[in-house]
Amino acid sequence: MAESRTIRALGLCSGGLDSILSALVLREQGIEVHWVCFETPFFSAFKARKASEQTGVPLTVQKITPVYMQMMRSPSVRYGKNMNPCMDCHALMFRLAGAMMTDKSFDFLFSGEVLGQRPMSQNRTSLRYVEKHSGFDGYILRPLSARCLPETIPEQNGWVDRNRLLDISGRSRKPQLQLAETYGVNEFPAPAGGCLLTDKIFSRRLRDLFDQQADCPERALHLLKFGRHLRLGPQTKIVVGRTRQDNEMINRNVDPERDLLLKVENYPGPLAVIPDGAEEGTVMLAASICAGYSKAPNHEPVTVSVQGAGTDRKVTVLGVPPGGSKRYMI
């Protein structure tokens, strides 16, 4: 090392194998490595926390929903196949990590990105875009592919020995698996992404929300993960549970001051929520749809409780069979 002081590096961590290996490669050089994981309703820090426990690499978790949603509304680069703005997402995270690097006196940033592993978001052009738009050009090191990429400032300054970094590229996972065996890393998640923005159904629901609402409160974003979503009007949608777990999560993400919660009485069935309420006719339609997904007999009047937003009452409706409500499905 060119300097006797301890070099400190801050890495983005998803909790996947590449994140783990990138930190271990640097730690092997005597560099003090830390991780940060940014959390939104679209991706959690669960895997990152587990990786931190496994490796002993310190982890900071930051929730960034407000600033992330600003980026989501108008990414500079188009979305991916679904609602995933991968390049602008990575640039934003490095920009936030860079601010933390400056504040906490880290020397450089790093990540587990591998050149060519994801053809659209990890090619040379994409990696360069992220670096330029992060505001920390030259300070982002990708240890697993460093020898395939231009030298960074940490390498030029002798903080990192480039010859001990790697030249992994392409989609094969074999080099990473071999490296994991070398380091004794036995537990790591499958490489499938944990970002909901790459999911087709979730993305369709999010696009509908963006199209209909200028403001997307966090509870509305969490609700996108659960149940059936039906659009009853430009300003009105309902979320109807499919399972007991859906019902629990819907109930957890209801604002009793603003939302209406519907439940069929005397028969097993789903919870349904109308975010921000609705006019009476729409409430009756929502109650009928809720009844139609319950175990109540067809073609018989059913009592549905309606609670929240200053009301606590019961309505009587005929259930709309699931086939009849398909036209509302998002």
Residue type for 61, please? V
- Which residue, of 195, 222, 242, is where some domain finishes? 195
Q: Is 87 within a domain?
A: yes
Is residue 1 included in any domain, yes or no? no
Q: Taking the model in full, what pTM does it have?
A: 0.91
- Cβ neighbours around 88 below 10 Å, total: 21
Average pLDDT over residues 215-221: 93
What was the pLDDT predicted at 13?
97
Sequence-ordered strand ranges (E) for 27-169? 32-39, 59-63, 108-110, 140-141
**Span 133-142, mean pLDDT?**
98
* Shared-domain flag, residues 212 and 174: no
Q: Say if 43 falls within a structural domain.
A: yes
State which of 195, 210, 243 marks the end of a domain.
Answer: 195
pLDDT-based confidence at residue 245 (cuts at 50, 70, 90): very high
More confident of the two residues 191 and 239: 239
204 shares a domain with 168: no
Q: Residue 298 has what pLDDT?
A: 83
pLDDT at residue 1 greater than cutoff 60: no
pLDDT: which is higher, 299 or 65: 65
Q: Are both 157 and 64 inside the same structural domain?
A: yes
* 263 inside domain: yes
Residue 4 has pLDDT above 90, yes or no: no
Which positions ≥6 away from 326 have C-beta within 8 Å? none
Do residue 153 and residue 225 come from a single domain? no
What average pLDDT does the segment 283-308 reach? Answer: 96
Q: What are residue 272's DSSP bridge partners?
A: 240, 262
Alpha-carbon distance 63 to 45, whole Å?
9
Joined together, the tokens standing for residue 219 give 């509870």
Give the other-Cβ count within 10 Å of 3's Cβ: 10
Is residue 316 situated within a structural domain?
A: yes
Question: Residue range 248-267: average pLDDT?
Answer: 97
What is d(CA 114, CA 143) in angstroms, rounded to the nearest whole number? 9
Is the per-residue pLDDT at 182 higher than 60? yes
Whether residue 74 lies inside any domain: the answer is yes
Q: What is the C-alpha to C-alpha distance for residues 75 and 69, in angstroms, rounded to an integer?
A: 10
Indicate if the pLDDT at residue 185 is higher than 90: yes
Domain count, the chain: 2
Per-residue pLDDT, averaged over 298-302, amounts to: 91
First and final C-alpha spacing in the chain: 57
What is the band of 14 on the pLDDT scale with cuts at 50, 70, 90?
very high
- Average pLDDT (315-322) is 96
pLDDT at position 192: 64
- pLDDT band per the 50, 70, 90 thresholds, residue 193: low
Last residue of a domain, one of 149, 178, 195: 195
Contact 265, 279 (CB under 8 A): no
171, two tokens: 């989609």
Q: What pLDDT shows up at residue 156?
A: 98
The CA distance from 261 to 326, in Å, is 21
Tokens of 246: 């859906």
With a pLDDT cut of 90, the percent of the chain lying above it is 91
Q: Do 118 and 206 lie in a common domain?
A: no
Containing structural domain, residue 291: 199-328
User: In whole angstroms, what is the distance from residue 292 CA to residue 279 CA?
Assistant: 20
130 Rama sector, left if φ>0, alpha if ψ -120 to 50, beta otherwise: alpha
Distance in angstroms (rounded) separating the CA atoms of residues 17 and 55:
11
CA distance 222 to 232: 20
Please tell me whether residue 92 adopts helix, strand or coil conformation: helix
Q: Same structural domain for residues 134 and 255?
A: no
Asked whether residue 19 falls in the same domain as residue 157, the answer is yes
Distances (CA, A) of 101 to 6, 132, 295: 15, 17, 56
Q: Of 2-6, 63-67, 147-151, which range is least confident?
A: 2-6
Same domain, 40 and 170: yes
59: domain CATH number? 3.40.50.620
71, β-bridge pairs:
none
Residue 2 has a pLDDT of: 46
Rounded to an integer, the average pLDDT of 83-107 is 97
Whether 252 shows a pLDDT value over 90: the answer reads yes
Residue 99 lies in a domain: yes
**Residue 20: band (very low, low, confident or very high) from pLDDT cuts 50, 70, 90:** very high
E strands within the chain? 8-12, 32-39, 59-63, 108-110, 140-141, 228-233, 236-240, 260-264, 271-274, 301-308, 311-318
